[in-house]
């Protein structure tokens, strides 16, 4: 069994790489499953009775991966996505290694005596998550995921890679088991003070990821395992992640405003308009080559520049996705965007931000956006109005006055505008987000409540 060896009481930073397994192949659109379906496939309880089909699946896994049952005892299947399946397992060789990744053990050791530590380490089972990557995944993508996880191994709120193994064409990654709750169980009840803590965890993880020059590309609730009781979250699943600058080609969004204006004035689109054609028509003989760009991710969470095939995408695409999560929490609707394809996704964004903003955003990336749907206004709607409508507060209150957002919601919406900025260059960064008052005040509300209880 080839693998990335865990160190016997020492740290060895070495990954076994088989160069003959790595080959370049044409990039295609990698899309995660529907966010609503995927949420239903992620569970955190292994005390429930295991379904017969799951038990058979685990048995097939053990039979196909020789030696896996000597190192780990499979307990349950806890996740099933487009590119992998995740199992909860007991680490049978935990005590033979250094386990700096074990956050729970570190926290417990702060309050335990040496004798208690030794007793707990001997008798308490240690759980890990085993990610079985489907053999249909390309070898270069599997290596890329493991390589990025190794680079992020000391990052706060990022699920670290413990080790990895390969048997024939099957690769598994061993990760810490993160206790969490299904997003659908708590998103409707989460108060603004709790949202602050949730996003402080998420942006702490993204700060580390983005400082390393890595785009996660698939930020969504099912990839951020959050435990409301412990107020702790872990960013997982780097299967679609890549380093910033990978396969870049110049996009109009990186040009100066003067150069961009000149390029637009001398484009096929401008010539088409000068010939007296309608904006919504198409050139008969368009000999331009098709535009290719990375559009990996999940429907409903892709940033506008991804949908518009920007060829120089940056870490800001993750910030937009985080904004969609905040919009979901404030509106109490999951998933908020539920498009069938990229065109529908653009139209959903247009229904909020308006046709004028989408035309400007499209031209920013050298694209043209036109729609003749009469219900879409030029100016769109404010996020405040969208949230009030989604939470059934668009009418008047008992006193006949127009309902308004709560003060703490207004601060959240102001922060939301910074995240869901259509121009990626103006979008807030993870560093800036952690300094924003909405995040910087995380925990203050809870401390004030605790002080009040102490006084009582």
Residues with catalytic function:
218
Residues 152, 212 contacting (CB under 8 angstroms): yes
Cα–chain center distance at 195: 16
Residues 84, 131 contacting (CB under 8 angstroms): yes
Q: Name the residue with tokens 């487009």.
A: 82
Report the SS3 class of residue 292. coil
Residues 218, 237 contacting (CB under 8 angstroms): yes
What is d(CA 319, CA 325) in angstroms, rounded to the nearest whole number?
A: 10
Residues 352, 368 contacting (CB under 8 angstroms): no
DSSP state for residue 402 in the 8-state scheme: B
* Residue 306 CA: distances (Å) to CA of 32, 56, 311, 422: 15, 39, 9, 11
Residues 419, 319 contacting (CB under 8 angstroms): yes
Helix 257-265 vs helix 355-364: crossing angle, to nearest 10: 100
End-to-end C-alpha distance for the chain, whole angstroms? 62
């Amino acid at each position: 069994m080839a693998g990335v060896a865990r160190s016997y009481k020492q740290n060895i930073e070495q990954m076994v790489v088989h160069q003959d397994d790595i080959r370049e192949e044409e990039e295609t659109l990698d899309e995660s499953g529907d966010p609503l379906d995927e949420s239903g496939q992620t569970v955190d309880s292994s005390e429930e009775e295991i379904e017969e089909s799951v038990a058979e699946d685990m048995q097939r896994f053990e039979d196909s991966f020789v030696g896996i049952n000597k190192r780990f005892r499979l307990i349950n299947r806890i996740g099933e996505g487009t590119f992998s399946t995740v199992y909860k397992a007991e680490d049978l060789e935990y005590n033979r290694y250094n386990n700096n990744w074990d956050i729970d053990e570190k926290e417990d050791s702060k309050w335990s005596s040496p004798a208690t530590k030794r007793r707990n380490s001997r008798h308490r089972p240690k759980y890990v998550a085993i990610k079985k990557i489907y053999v249909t995944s390309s070898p270069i993508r599997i290596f890329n995921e493991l390589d990025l996880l190794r680079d992020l191994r000391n990052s706060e709120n990022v699920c670290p890679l413990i080790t990895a193994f390969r048997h024939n064409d099957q690769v598994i990654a061993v990760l810490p088991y993160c206790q969490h709750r299904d997003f659908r169980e708590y998103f409707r009840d989460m108060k603004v003070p709790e949202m602050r803590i949730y996003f402080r965890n998420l942006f702490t993880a993204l700060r580390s990821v983005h400082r390393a020059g890595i785009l996660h590309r698939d930020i969504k609730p099912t990839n951020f395992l959050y435990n409301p009781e412990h107020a702790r979250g872990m960013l997982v699943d780097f299967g679609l992640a890549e380093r910033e600058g990978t396969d870049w080609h110049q996009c109009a969004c990186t040009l100066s405003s003067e150069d961009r204006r000149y390029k637009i004035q001398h484009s096929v689109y401008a010539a088409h308009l000068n010939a007296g054609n309608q904006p919504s028509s198409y050139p008969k003989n368009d000999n331009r080559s098709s535009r290719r760009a990375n559009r990996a991710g999940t429907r409903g969470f892709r940033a506008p520049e991804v949908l518009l095939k920007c060829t120089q995408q940056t870490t800001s695409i993750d910030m937009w996705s985080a904004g969609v999560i905040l919009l979901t929490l404030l509106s109490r609707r999951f998933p908020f965007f539920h498009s069938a394809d990229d065109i529908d996704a653009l139209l959903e964004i247009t229904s909020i931000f308006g046709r004028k903003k989408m035309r400007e955003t499209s031209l920013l990336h050298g694209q043209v956006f036109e729609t003749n749907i009469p219900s879409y206004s030029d100016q769109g709607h404010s996020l405040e109005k969208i949230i009030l409508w989604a939470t059934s507060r668009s009418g008047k209150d008992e006193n006949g006055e127009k309902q308004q957002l709560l003060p703490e919601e207004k601060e959240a919406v102001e922060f939301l505008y910074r995240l869901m900025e259509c121009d990626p260059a103006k979008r807030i960064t993870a560093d800036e987000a952690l300094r924003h008052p909405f995040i910087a005040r995380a925990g203050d509300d809870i401390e004030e409540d605790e002080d009040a209880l102490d006084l009582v």
